Amino acid sequence: MTEMVDKSVAGGVNPNTNLLDWSYDENGDPKFRTIRNDTFDSVIDSSFYTSETGNYYISHDTANVGGNTGGKVKLRFTGNVSETVDAMAQLTFTLPRIFKELIFEYDLYVPANYSHTIPSDNANNNKFLRLWQTTYGFYHAGNKCGASLFANSGNSTLIPECMHFGDGVGPGIGWGDTSDTGFIGAADKGAWMHVKVHAKAATVGNNFSEGGTTCGDGFIRFYKNDVLSARNEKMASIGTGAQGWKYGYLMGAANSGFRVDTDFYIDNLVIIGV
């Protein structure tokens, strides 16, 4: 894979080789670089869109979806008449290395028939994004963060999620979370929205403590149509050494399930990182 570098800004000296290198700035610090810029017009590149957790119910699609007739990723959450049956569709990716700061931008289509309900088992958290560092798992498996959609009268609230000591990833209520109750509202159904995610890992490892009494200096910020939405400004890190993320996925397990087939679409995914 070729990494694109913005050469409109002066390059610097690579501290490791002492040679001029466009991936470093004038202070010798690594610069943001484009990791991925996908229009999905021909295929979903399986060499990049892959990870240990695997893809689920995604396909390449060229139907006219809200005026978009080019190629895009279709994510089908299969409907089931039983209200406690979950659904799942996720687009996974593996970055070329661990990045300490990442920005994702993409277009997301929310179907007109989208209805986010609360089943009788009460589980209604539907994954929106996950990022992780080493192995997808729980305690001491490296940094993880993300966000999930929670039911809100048929619409969805977006809540950022961070590490829970010994318990994977979940909402950081009281640990810096600001949720967005209007992330998917009536006006967002049957329409494309532009999503931006900016995540920066905490600079210090092992600055996490159970109960959130110690928070970190990392953050994860979500933007809907270029307006700041849900965010966590106190993300902590776990483990020692370099902090950041290498793996992740968009959308994912939907604990609410859906009564009818519910098709999301993703297009124009740009990922930059440092």
The number of residues in the chain equals 274
- The nearest distance, CB 73 to Ca ion, in angstroms, is 9
Contact between 21 and Ca ion by CB under 5 A: the answer reads: no
Q: Which residue has the tokens 């009818």?
A: 260
Which C-beta is closer to Ca ion: that of 9 or that of 63?
Answer: 63
* Residue 70 sits in the site that holds Ca ion (CB under 5 A): yes
- Give 30 or 70: the residue with its C-beta nearer to Ca ion: 70
Cα–Cα distance measured from residue 61 to residue 263, given in angstroms and rounded to the nearest whole number: 11
**Shortest CB 96 distance to Ca ion, Å:** 23
Instruction: Name the token pair of 159.
Output: 């809540």
d(CA 262, CA 114): 6
Q: Residue 24: how many CB atoms within 10 A of its CB?
A: 19
Shortest distance, CB of residue 72 to Ca ion, whole angstroms? 5
Contact by Cβ (8 Å): 88, 80: no
Smallest distance from the beta carbon of 226 to Ca ion, in angstroms?
20
Q: Least CB distance from residue 169 to Ca ion, whole Å? A: 30
**Which range in 10-18, 63-71, 111-119, 239-247 contacts Ca ion by CB under 5 A?**
63-71
Q: Which of 4, 20, 29, 39 binds Ca ion (CB under 5 A)?
A: 39
Candidate list 101, 161, 177, 267; residue touching Ca ion; CB under 5 A? 267
Dihedral angle of Cα 21, 22, 23, 27, to the nearest 10 degrees = 80
Contact at 8 Å (CB) between 36 and 269? yes
Q: Please, what is the minimum distance in Å from the beta carbon of residue 14 to Ca ion?
A: 35
Stretch that binds Ca ion, among 15-23, 51-59, 62-70, 145-153 (CB under 5 A): 62-70
Strands 169-171 and 177-178: unpaired
Under the criterion CB under 5 A, does residue 61 sit at the interface with Ca ion?
A: no
Minimal CB distance residue for Ca ion? 70
Of 73 and 238, which CB lies nearer to Ca ion in the complex structure? 73
- Asked whether position 40 contacts Ca ion by CB under 5 A, the answer is yes
- How many alpha carbons lie under 13 Å from residue 78 in its C-beta half-sphere? 6
Measured at the alpha carbon of residue 124, what is the angle toward residues 155 and 57, in degrees to the nearest 5? 90
Determine the Cα–Cα distance for residues 41 and 151; give it in Å rounded to an integer.
32
Give the residues lining the site for Ca ion (CB under 5 A): 39-41, 70-72, 267
